[in-house]
Amino acid sequence: MGRHSKVWSTIAALSLAVAGCATGTAGDARTPDGAGSGFSVQDARIALSVKAKLTAERAANLVSVSVRSRDGVVYLDGEVPTPEDRNAAERIARSVEGVRQVVNDLQVRTAG
């Protein structure tokens, strides 16, 4: 599968996941008793945008990074090959509109 096919496959899968979770409201989704589930359409959009940018820019190194967003704070988890990739992932996440903060918990793989 080519690089562009991987990018579009990832974007399509993430779009379907977001569409399946979205309730059509602009705020938090609510359970029947009115309690917030913590899911926000805005946070889903942010996570999707970050993941798409990570996949598009450095598919070989950043495609497996886990991305979550809550209240505009993006959480990056997983492993990357180099410190440069770790920094690049954070830079890319910060470039997405709506991101207020990035928590970079990415680990650099050690040789061995």
Measure the N-to-C terminal CA separation of the chain; round to a whole number of Å: 29
d(CA 23, CA 38): 13
Quick one: 103 exposed, middle or buried, by C-beta within 10 A (0-12, 13-18, 19+)?
Answer: middle
Fold of 3-26+38-108: GMP Synthetase; Chain A, domain 3 (3.30.300)
The residue extents of the domains of the chain are 3-26+38-108
Q: For 9-23, what is each residue's pLDDT tens digit?
A: 555 555 545 444 443
Give residue 46's pLDDT.
96
Q: For 32-78, what is each residue's pLDDT tens digit?
A: 444 455 668 999 999 999 999 998 875 557 888 999 999 999 999 99
